Amino acid sequence: MKTLVIATTNPGKVKEISRLLAGLSLNILSLADFPAIPQVEETGSTFTENAIIKARHAAKYTGEMSLADDSGLEVDALDGKPGIQSSRFAGPGATDAQRNKLLLSLLKDTPDEKRTARFHCVVAIASPSGETQIFDGVCEGLITREPRGAHGFGYDPVFFVPEYGKTMAELPPEVKNEISHRAKAVKASLCFGSFFGAEADSR
């Protein structure tokens, strides 16, 4: 059985990606299983650059095929922010609730029709030799005026999906795993041979 390392210690992200990979013959680990690995610096200026940095770092230090994603929320009324700063939007150590509170406060005077936003995810899969392939996923929606729902994590409680009339956090996991930005990017990666250990084209 092949091993795949999910290059994160975020338990919510590990759980979500693991669900997407359910049924595959893979031994799935995360960076929590490799506590001695040095922390990677996300020095990229785009989701793609950061995903590649994280995937190659994990593959190098674990010696295993690694999957990393970099994702965030792009709000049109904020000129695409928080973007790659999504997890650091409210400062170091801020909670999901604090980040959502800051976002809603910045949009308090923004009318409903201008609260358009999207979740954008880039997944990178890297081999220990550094060969890498990338995949994109996007989910369009609107920012609500208050958090709703108990599922998911991050900005899910304030991200409204018009097709379902609910926030991402109100959707059951099986529905979110069909429509989310991360689901789309991970599912795209399943079609690529390197996911199972085949050679990949270098990026």
Q: What angle do CA 100, 106, 112 make, to 5 degrees?
A: 90
Kindly state whether residue 71 falls inside one of the protein's structural domains.
yes
- pLDDT for the residue numbered 85: 93
- pLDDT for the residue numbered 192: 59
CA 161/CA 133 separation, integer angstroms: 29
Kindly state whether residue 117 falls inside one of the protein's structural domains.
yes
Q: ω before 128 within 30° of 0 (cis)?
A: no
Kindly state whether residue 202 falls inside one of the protein's structural domains.
no
CA 124/CA 103 separation, integer angstroms: 28
**Which CATH number do you get for residue 15?**
3.90.950.10
CA distances from 181 to 2, 62, 102 (A): 26, 27, 22
Q: What is the mean pLDDT of residues 72-92?
A: 95
Reference 72, options 188, 184, 181; nearest CA is: 181
Q: Provide the mean pLDDT of the chain.
A: 91
The model's pLDDT over 9-53, given as tens digits with 9 standing for 90+, comes to 988 889 888 888 887 788 999 999 999 999 999 899 999 999 999
Kindly state whether residue 201 falls inside one of the protein's structural domains.
no
H helix or E strand, kind and range, residue 67: strand 65-75
Q: Which domain holds residue 118?
A: 2-196
The model's pLDDT over 144-191, given as tens digits with 9 standing for 90+, comes to 999 999 988 899 999 999 999 999 999 998 898 889 999 899 888 877
Kindly state whether residue 12 falls inside one of the protein's structural domains.
yes
Provide the domain count of the chain: 1
- pLDDT for the residue numbered 201: 38
Side-chain half-sphere exposure of 21, counting CA atoms within 13 A: 24
Active-site residue flag, 70: yes
Catalytic residue from among 70, 79, 109, 156: 70
Longest dimension (CA), the chain: 53
Kindly state whether residue 203 falls inside one of the protein's structural domains.
no
Provide the sign of the torsion angle of the four alpha carbons 21, 175, 171, 143, taken in this order.
positive
